[in-house]
Every structure is written in structure tokens, then in C-alpha cells.
Amino acid sequence: MNFPCEAVSSGHLVQRHLRAVAALLLPVLLSAAGAAPVEQATLLDQLRTDHAAMVSAEREYRRLRERGALNERETADYAAYVARLHRRVAEDCRSVTAAGLDMPDGVVCPEFAAMPVPADIDLAAERTRDEMTGELDAALLAGLGEFDEMLLREQERVKASAPLTDVTDTGGGIAGGGAAGGDAAGEAVAGAAGATGVGTQAGDAGEGARTSGGGSGSSVGGGATPPGSWNQSGRSPSQPDDIPDGSDDDVVARQLREAAEKETDPELKEKLWEEYRKYKQGTR
Amino acid sequence: MGYRFMSTHFRIITGVLLTALLMLSGCSTVGLKQSVDGVVPLDKAVAQVPDDQLLDVWIELFEPGEIPDDPDDALGLSMDIRDAEARYIPQHLRNTLESTGYWGAVRVVPAGTVGGEVLVRGRILESDGLNLSLNIIALDATGRQWFDRSYSSEISYLAYQNSRSTRREAFQPIYNRIANDLAEYRARLEPQENRAIRQTAELRFAADLSPDAFEDYLSGEKRERYTIARLPAEDDPMLRRVQAIRDRDFLLIDTLNGHFDNFYRDMQQPYDDWRRTRSEEAHALEEIRREANTRKLLGFAAIVGAVALEATGNANGYTSAVLRDAMLIGGAYAVKSGFDKASETEIHSEAIKELDDSFSAEARPMVVDVEGETHELTGSAEVQYTKWRALLKRIYSSETGLTGTDD
């Protein structure tokens, strides 16, 4: 008699426990189930945004290079920015793959199968002063990259909201510096600044700070070897000597390496290799 | 006789030449106030200025000044219009300076922006379409004041008809004069002074971002005059970081100038239209006032004459009596017609008020928009700069092992 009674009572106890556990776990499970799609959507959005920014910046970079509109410093700066975007896209790709998501349409990422997983080491405790500085530098660079993107977006907005006037723009760039250049001169018809000996200078000033007379005009497509061709040593002909063979490359490094190898613009190529080196140094 | 003839001729020729010279120079200078009239040719560089000698000019958004106390002078003017002009005028000055070829980048910046090489500050003293008075202060990064001058110009309402056909700013001489004064001062600078200005600007920007690393490079008297105590190495990593941020600062200012330029271009037509129509109305108003006053004066004079004729007893004859009556009636009529004419001023005064109200209503949202864009952009930038300041502080500490000064 007692047994069934105990059994009943013990069964009730188990049920009560189960209900209590379920009540505790349910919100957690629900929130996890709700959060996961949000996080996944964020990852995909991030990848799409970064990829679009990379494609747009790269296209703009090549256009400006072809026009010879960038001086040496601007070229290096712009190339570094594009290389950073490459790295960011590579990192996004890794995150998306790790989350088990499919790549969005139009975004090309390398294959990620069978990539080595880094050992779980407390890197923070192992860092030297140089490494710490390197990390802070990387944070600074990332901040600069974000700021560049913000300004790029803002400049697009400025361009889009520019009034359609019949005043000749002599300056180019977003500032539209020479919008009233001719008017301002007081003696020439609008836009005639370019006709004088100093017009170019004034016009160039519109491109950005201290760019007068600038423009390195260095050629585009300096690499004679077609992308993807390799010499007998297995090293890409345009690969710098200090670049390792890549056998221990992870996803991001491999994507940066591929981008650098395929790149024909010497300045951008160098910046991509630089980004690769920095990344490798950071993961070491 | 021959000598006197020659002497007279000489005096005439000298007079003509002097007048011509005055007209050519287009201005008369009284102390620190310049009255700018006539044609002022813009001084342009005849050869390209070497890159390392180019100074960037930053023009702060002008102070709008105040509306005159006299109700007649202040008729229809509003602070909304002044606020718009305080953005429009520096932008036009920028365009003028850019077209000279003497300067590097010329940019309009919000007041208090750090890092400029040559800084131009302006205040609107008077602006009503027919008169423009500006106070301009120019100084460089070392804190040396180039000049502090007031420029004023008065034009005819007809100037807007010319400016419309030639697409030229009606007050262009004033802008040209300011540009010429800046170029004249710049020409006096030795190459090493130019270099010092550029270096000081860079170090001031660096010290603002990372005082721990760069404050000692500059010495200054109460932060009003700056001299370079020493220079960082060209490959100084902290300097390279600051330069990277400064490049972004230039880009930020370029972006802001995109907004300012859009505002300027949006404003150009309505502002010109307002000034032209307002000037015509103001001219008509002035003409009517003058005519009304003349009629009143003549009328009073006739009445006084009639009274005098009566008083002196010279109006006893028939002819004189007729003359007296005619003067009295004519005078009274003239006075009345003077008052009638004066009432016409109301129409033009109302027209001016309406014009100003209408232009204020058009300009206000444009000013609000551009102010909003400026605040949004500088606000985001300031957040970013605060982060960078903190990062630079940590980097400096990590690189040198020094903890630096507390904020």
C-alpha cells in the first residue's frame, strides 16, 4: 500500500522538479532561440555591408588610380583602406561559416573545410610590449577604417544632395571647391580658373588637403604575370620573400593571401601583403 | 605765359593721373578701415607656388553680428538672414581665395577648429544688399596676427543688374581686397617662416590629440603665441599615427565643406534675388522720400514767401496779391503733395518687409539643415577623436613605459 503511495508521491516530486527545471530553462531556451536568428542576421548583414564597401572602395580606388588622381600618399592610404576591408570581409566570412550559415548571394569567400583550429592559449598573458602596442595600433587602424567608411557614406550623401546648378565645378571631389571659381575671380567667366596658369592648382586644392600639384601618376597593373600563375618553386612570382608558404594559414590569412596574389595594382598588392603580415603576426 | 600754361597743364595731368590711380586701386584706406569701391583686380599667382610653400587657409564661419538699432536701417533685416549670410560669405571668400593660386587647401570650418595653418575670422558689421561691412582678422598657427581690418563697400542697386548678366558677385571687390591683403602678407613671409607655420599647425594638432607625446615640442606664451621647441623625428611612430588621424581630419573638413558648398549653391539664387529686389525697393523708397521732402520744402518756402510778401506790405497791388495767393495756394498744394508722396513710402516699406520675411522663411530651413549636418558630423567625429585620444595615450604608455599625464 505504501509503495504505490510512495511511488505516486515520488512521481509527483519528479514531476514538480521537472516543472521547476522547465520553468527555469524555458526563458533561457526561448531567448536563445530568439537571439540566434538575430545574431545570424547581424552576421550576414555585416558581411553584406563590408563586402559592398570593399567592392565599392576597390572600384573607386582603381578608377582614381587610372585617372592619376591620387598622389603617392593618398594612393598608399587608399590601398591600405581597401586592404583592411579585405581583411574585414575575410573575418566576416569566417564568422558566417562558423555559425553554419550559407554565404549570401554575390559574396565570394574561400572554402573553409578542414581548417586548423587554433590552440586555446591565454594570449593576453603571453604578450610582449611590442605585441600590446601592435594590438593597440590595430585598434587604432580599425577605428580609422570605420571613420573612413562613415566619411565615405557622408560624402555620398553630400554628392547626392548637391544642387544641380549650371555653375562649372572646377575642383572635383566632394568639396566642389571651384563651384563659383569663375565668379569669385571677378574677371573671368565661370569655371575659367582652369584656363589660367594657376587654375589647376586651385582646382586640385578641391580634391583634399594639400594635394595641389599632387598625383603620382604611377601606372596601374604593374604586375606582368597574370594572376594565379606560379613559378616552379611554388611561390607566386610577385610574392615578397618574407611571406611564408601559407601551410598554416587560417581562413582569413588565406583569403588575404589570395587577394594579394591576384592583385595587379602594385600599391594595393603591397598593402594586402602588409595586411596579411599584420594578421599573421597577430595570430601567432 | 608759356610756363603758366605748362604749369596748368601739368596740374591737370597730375590730377587726372591721381584720380585714375585712386580709381585703379579701388579703395581708400583710413587706418584699419578700408572703404572698397570700384574695380579691385584679384591678385593671382603668376607661377605655381611650390608645394612646400603652400599654406592651408581655414575660414571660420562668420559671426553674424547684430541688426542695426535704427528702425529705418533695420527695416526688414532679420537674424535669420544674417545667419545665412554668416555661412554664405565665408564660402564665397573661400572660392575667391582658391582661385588666386596662392594657397593650399582653402576650407570653411566651424569656429574653434584646431589645426589650421592660416585662420581667417570674420564678423558681419553691416549687410543690407546695398552696403556690406566686414571685420576680418587673419592669423597663423603660431598665433601671429596678420591683420585686423574692417572692409566696407556701398554699391548702387544697378550693380545687381550687372552681376546678373556677368554672374559676378556684386560685392566682389571686397572679397578681392581681402584676398589681396592675405596674399600681400603671405608674400612677406620667408620660406622658413612658412615652414614653421606648417610645422606648428601639425604639432598643435598632435598636442591636442596626444598631449603626453607632443606638448613639449611647443612652447607658448599663455597659449597665444607658439614657438617650436624641438621637432619629432620624421619616422616617429606617434607622429605617423597622428598624421593618419590628421588626414582623416582633413577629410572630415572636406566633407563638411561639401555641405557648406551645397548650402552656398542653394542660397546663391534666392540670396541674389532678395538683394536685387530689396535694393530696388530701397532705392525707390529713398527716391520717394527725397521727392516728398523736396515738395514739402518747396511748399513751405512758397508759404513763407507769401507770408513775407504780406508782412512787408508789398502785396497791395493786384499783381502782387495774385502772386501772394498763388504762392500760398501753390505752397499748400506742394506741401500736401509732399505728404501724399511720403505716404507712398509705406508701400515700399511694406514691400521690403515682405521680401525679407519671405527670404527669411526660405533661408531659415536651409540654415537649420546645414547646422544639423555640421553638428551631426562634428559630434560623431568628436566621439571618435575622444576614443583615439585614449588609444594614443595607451599606445604612448605601452611604447615608452611612461604613464603620461592624467586627463
Q: What pTM was computed for the model?
A: 0.60
Out of B54, B98, B257, the one facing A178 most closely (by C-beta) is B98
Residue B76 Rama label (left phi>0; alpha psi -120 to 50; beta): left
Out of B49, B261, B398, the one facing A175 most closely (by C-beta) is B261
The CA–CA distances, whole Å, from B222 to B97, B138, B197, B209, B290 equal 31, 19, 18, 19, 56
Interface membership of A186 toward B (CB under 8 Å): yes
- Residues 6 or more apart whose CB falls under 8 angstroms from that of B38 comprise B23, B26, B27, B173
Mean pLDDT taken over chain B? 83
Is the CB of B398 less than 8 angstroms away from the CB of A129? Answer: yes
Residue B43 Rama label (left phi>0; alpha psi -120 to 50; beta): beta
Interface membership of A155 toward B (CB under 8 Å): yes
- Residues 6 or more apart whose CB falls under 8 angstroms from that of A275 comprise A80, A83, A84, A86, A87, A256, A260
Give which of A130, A148, A151 to mutate to test B binding, by max B Cβ within 10 Å. Answer: A151
Task: Give the three cell numbers for residue A7.
Answer: 511511488
- Spatial strand order in the sheet of B27-30: B27-30, B33-36, B145-154, B131-140, B118-127, B57-60, B106-109
**How many CB pairs lie under 8 A apart between chains A and B?**
195
Out of A143, A155, A184, the one facing B384 most closely (by C-beta) is A143
The answer to whether residue B1 scores a pLDDT higher than 50 is no
Which pLDDT tens digits describe chain A residue by residue (284 residues)? 333 434 434 444 445 444 544 444 444 444 444 446 667 888 888 888 888 888 888 888 888 888 888 888 788 888 888 888 888 888 888 888 888 888 888 787 755 444 555 566 666 666 777 788 888 888 888 888 888 888 888 888 888 888 876 543 333 333 333 333 334 444 333 333 322 223 333 333 333 334 333 333 333 233 333 333 333 334 454 678 788 777 777 778 888 888 888 888 888 888 888 888 888 877 66
pLDDT of residue A169: 35
The CA–CA distances, whole Å, from A185 to A178, B89, B133 equal 10, 15, 20
Out of B99, B255, B381, the one facing A184 most closely (by C-beta) is B99
Q: Residues B286-343: pLDDT tens digits?
A: 777 777 777 778 877 878 877 877 777 766 677 777 777 787 788 888 777 777 766 7
Interface membership of A151 toward B (CB under 8 Å): yes
pLDDT of residue B55: 95
Task: Give the three cell numbers for residue B94.
Answer: 573661400
CA of B44: which chain A residue's CA is closest?
A198
Q: Residues B47-98: pLDDT tens digits?
A: 888 888 899 999 999 999 999 888 877 887 889 999 999 999 999 999 999 9
- Please name which of A261, A25, A23, A210 lies closest in space to residue B57, comparing C-alpha atoms: A210
pLDDT of residue B222: 59
ipTM of the prediction: 0.71
Q: Residues B160-214: pLDDT tens digits?
A: 877 666 678 889 999 999 999 999 999 999 999 999 999 999 999 999 999 989 9
DSSP 8-state secondary structure symbol assigned to residue B109? E
Is the CB of B167 less than 8 angstroms away from the CB of A154? Answer: no
The answer to whether residue B23 scores a pLDDT higher than 50 is no
The CA–CA distances, whole Å, from B252 to B240, B377, B391, B397 equal 18, 8, 20, 28
pLDDT of residue B131: 92
